[in-house]
Chain A
Amino acid sequence: MRLAAEHRNLLKGLGPLGTNGFMPILSMNRLTYLALGLLVLVAATSLGGILGIIRKNAPVEYLVVWCACGSLVVMAIVMMLLGKARTQRSLQVVEQRLRRLIQEGRLDDFGVAIPEEMRPVMAALCEYVDQVRDRVDHLQVRKKELDIQMLVAETERRKSEAIILSQREAVLVIDGFGDLALANAAAERLCGFSLQDSRHRPLNRVLSDASLIDLIREAREQPGAGACRQLEYTTSRDGEGRTFHIILSPLLEADGRPGGVVVVFHDITQERQAAQVKVDFVSAVSHELRTPLSSIKAYIEMLLDGEARDEADQANFLRIVSEETTRLQRLIENILNISRIESGLIQPCPELIQPHGLIRIILETLAPQAADKGVELDYCLGEGLPSIWADRDMLHRAILNVISNAMKYTPAGGRVQVNAGFDAARRHYVITVTDNGIGIRDRDLGRIFDKFYRSKEAAAVAKGTGLGLNLVKHIVESVHRGEISVTSEPGKGTSMILRFPLSPQPKTRAQP
C-alpha cells in the first residue's frame, strides 16, 4: 500500500508525463532533424551557386545568394548547438533531481518541472519503473508469505520439540539421513548418551544396541504404508532387566520418500512384574487350594466306592475329610486376611495387652510340638515390661507364626530362644525369636515375606504355604505400625525381630 502511494506521488510529480498521456510538442529529435534539413538545403543551394560562379563567371547576385546560404548554414549549426545544450541541461536537471531523491531515499513528488524534450524518455522510464515496482511488490508479498510460513514452521518445530522433551517416556527422533535429530532426557538416560554431544551424529555412533539400531534403520528405510510398528524390546542396563513397548513411527517427506522415524519407549517392566506377581499368586493359591481339596475329593470317592474295609476305615476317611476341610478353611481365611489388610478393609480391635503374657500362652501351646520334634524351646522375658496397644488375636497369630516357623526349620536337637524386652530409646516392645536351624541364604532374605514364596531349602525341609510370614509382616507393620526384621546365616540359624511401638494407640481403619 505504501509503495503504491509513493508510486502515485512520483507520477503526480511528472505532471502530464503520466504513463497514459504525454504531449510531444517539440522534442530534441525533431529540432535536430529540422536543423539537418536546413543544413542540407543550404548546403545544396550553396554548392549550386558556387558551381555556377565558377563555370559562368556568375554575377554578383549569385555571390549574394551564396552568402545568404552560408549564413543559413551558420544559423543551422548554431541552432544545433543550442539544441544540444538545452538537452544537456534538461538531462542535468533530471539527473540532479533523481540523485537527490536517491540520496534522500524518497519516492515522492519529482519536485521540478520536467523539460518537454525529456518527457518521452521519462514516460518510458516510468513504464519501466512501473514494471520493476510491480515485480518488487510481488516479490515482497511473496517474501512476507514465506516469512509467515517460516514463523509458523518454527513455532510448530518448537512446540513439537517442547512436547518431545517434556515426555516422561523416552523419545528418539531420527532424521532422513539416519542421524539423531532429537532425544529427550528419558532417552538420554535409557540409551546412555548426551544429546548435546550426539545430535546430528549417525545412530550407530550414538546407540550401542545393534538390534535397536537395526530396528530403527528398518523402520526408516522401509516405512511401509506409513504405519507404526509396535514391538517389545528388552534391555539390560546396570544389571537390571527392563522391558519396553516400542512404537516406531516412520516420517514421510511431502513426496512420500522416507524422511526419518520417531521412536517412543514405553516402560512396561512394572506392568510385566505386576502381571507376573498376579499369575504367581493365582498359581500359588490354586496349588494350595487343590491340595486339601484333593484329599477331600479322593476320600469321599473312596467312601462312595466302598473302598473302606470296615467302620474304623470309614471313620478315618471321614476324619481326614473333616481335617482337610478345616485346612482349606484356614487357608482361605489366611488369604482373605492378607487381602483385607492389604486393601485396608480389616478393622483391628486394639486393646492394652502385656505381650509377655501372650508369649507364655503361645509357648505353652507349642511345647508339646517342640518336645515331639526334639527341639528345645526356651524363653527370657524381661521384668516390668510395659503393655502395648494391639489387636490380641492378630498379635497372637503373628507371634505364634514366628515361633512355629523357627521350630519348623530347626532340626531335632536344635534350640529356639524367645526373648522379649523394651527398647527405651525408641520406646519399642521388642520380641526376638532366634533358632539354630537351617538358616536363610542372602538371596532369599529379601523375599521371605513375599506371599507364597518358599526357598528351595525351606521347601526341602518342611511343608508350608508361604503365607505365614507374609501375614506376620502385615500384622506387625500394617496393623500395629511396628517393624519386622530378620538376620540369618545359612546352616547356623535365624533371628526374627518384631518391634511394636508403645504409643500411640494404633489407628483403626474405618470400614468403607
Chain B
Amino acid sequence: MKRILVADDETHILNVVSIKLSNAGYQVDTAEDGAEAYRAALAHPPDLLITDYQMPNLSGVELCAKLAADEPTRFIPTILLTARGYSISPQDKTTAGIKRVIDKPFSPREVLACVEELLAGVEAERPMAESCI
C-alpha cells in the first residue's frame, strides 16, 4: 500500500484530502505544520507528499527544499496544494522538487487523479532506473 503524507494547518483540508485518499486505498499520514511534516517524512519516507504552502514553523516550499536536500527523501514526488500558487516562482519549484501545484479551492477528485498520475510515473521510471544499474 502506498504511503502518502499530507501537511496542512487547516484541519478541514487535511481531513478531506485524507478521507479521499484513504477511500482510494492509500495509507495517509498527516501533519499540521511544516516542521511536523519534515519529521514525519524523515521517520517514514512517504511515496508522495501533498503539502500546503503557508504553514506555521516551516512553509511548504521550505519543507520541500529540505526534503530535496536529504538523500532518503530526495526523490519524493510532491504536490503543492495552495491558495498562493501565483507567488511560487518556477525556480522555487525546481529547487524544491515540486512536481505539481494545485490551486485552492480544489477538487479532491483532481488531487486523487494527480496522485495516481505521479505514482504511475514513478513506477514507470523505476524499472528503467533498475535496468540502468
Contacts and interface: CB of A to CB of B under 8 A. Distances in A.
A and B from one assembly? yes
Interface of A: 283, 286-287, 290-291, 293-299, 301-302, 305, 307, 320, 324, 459-463
B23 interface: yes
A462 B19 CA distance: 25
Given A287-B84, A459-B54, A297 B105 contact: yes
Contact of A294 (B13, B20, B23): B13
Interface residues of B, number: 25
A290 B105 CA distance: 6
Nearest to B106: A294
Given A291-B10, A298-B13, A307-B108, 11 more contacts: A283-B86, A286-B83, A287-B84, A290-B83, A294-B10, A296-B105, A298-B107, A302-B19, A459-B56, A460-B57, A463-B10
Contacts of A459: 54, 56
Contacts of A295: 10, 12-13, 16
A13 B105 CA distance: 112
A464 to B, nearest CB: 11
A238 B54 CA distance: 35
Contacts of A324: 12
Contacts of A283: 84, 86-87
Question: Nearest 4 CB-CB pairs, A to B?
Answer: A290-B83, A294-B104, A294-B105, A295-B12
B126 interface: no
Contacts of A286: 83
18 contacts: A283-B84, A283-B87, A287-B84, A294-B104, A294-B105, A296-B105, A297-B106, A298-B13, A301-B107, A302-B108, A305-B108, A307-B19, A307-B20, A307-B108, A320-B15, A460-B33, A461-B56, A463-B9
Contacts, number: 66
Contact of A291 (B83, B107, B109): B83
Looking at A287, A293, A298, A461, which has the most chain B CB atoms within 10 Å of its CB? Answer: A298
B36 to A, nearest CB: 12
Contact of A301 (B87, B103, B108): B108
A298 B108 contact: yes
Interface string B33-65: 100000000000000000000101100000000
Contacts of B105: 290, 293-294, 296-298
B17 to A, nearest CB: 8
Nearest to A316: B15
Contacts of A305: 108-109
Interface of B: 9-10, 12-13, 15-17, 19-20, 23, 33, 54, 56-57, 83-84, 86-87, 103-109
Nearest to A297: B105
Best-surrounded residue of B13, B57, B104 (most CB of chain A within 10 A): B104
Nearest to B9: A463
A307 B107 CA distance: 13
A298 B16 contact: yes
Which of B33, B57, B107 counts the most A-chain CB atoms under 10 A from its CB?
A: B107
A368 to B, nearest CB: 19
A281 to B, nearest CB: 14
A297 B107 contact: yes
A287 B57 CA distance: 19
Nearest to B107: A301
Nearest to A462: B56
Contacts of A307: 19-20, 23, 108
A290 B83 CA distance: 6
Most B CB contacts (10 A, CB to CB) among A286, A291, A296 go to: A291
A463 B20 CA distance: 25
A254 to B, nearest CB: 53
A302 B16 contact: yes
Contacts of A287: 54, 83-84
Nearest to A289: B83
Contacts of B87: 283
A287 B105 CA distance: 10
